[in-house]
Amino acid sequence: QSVLTQPPSASGTPGQRVIISCSGSSSNIAGNPVTWYQQLPGTAPKLLIYSNNQRPSGVPDRFSGSKSGTSASLAISGLQSEDEADYYCAVSDDSLTVIFGGGTKLTVL
């Protein structure tokens, strides 16, 4: 059971907008930047969003992140079949320990 809580699954149809949540606490999300990763089967995680809402170069602007208080969210708009993957939130907490959310499996119907 992770300290960061994510829904185990999410789904949407092509073109839809999907939101994945990540719930934490005052000692982790509230005071520290949140990062999101996408992991395709059999591959290493890929950096998707950092510093709550920043996209690395090469990440489509269909992906966006936000944070409010002790929660963060990843939004994927214009859902595509290749977005089917596992998504993880992560944060370095007040003691500089890195915590990952339990992960959300996104299915594109």
CB of 39 to another protein, least distance (A): 8
Among 32, 38, 71, 73, binds another protein (CB under 8 A): 32
For strands 104-108 and 98-100, give the pairing: unpaired
Provide the token pair at 106: 């996104």
Q: Interface mask (CB under 8 A) for another protein, residues 49-88, using x and -?
A: -xx----x-------------------------------x
How many Cβ atoms are within 10 Å of 10's Cβ, its own excluded? 17
Q: What is the rounded distance in angstroms from the CA atom of residue 43 to the CA atom of residue 30?
A: 30
17 or 98, CB closer to another protein? 98
Please, are residues 3 and 22 in contact by the beta-carbon 8 Å criterion? no
Please, are residues 36 and 87 in contact by the beta-carbon 8 Å criterion? yes
Q: Is 96 in the site for another protein (CB under 8 A)?
A: yes
**Site residues, another protein (CB under 8 A):** 2, 32-35, 37, 39, 44-47, 50-51, 56, 88, 90-92, 96-103
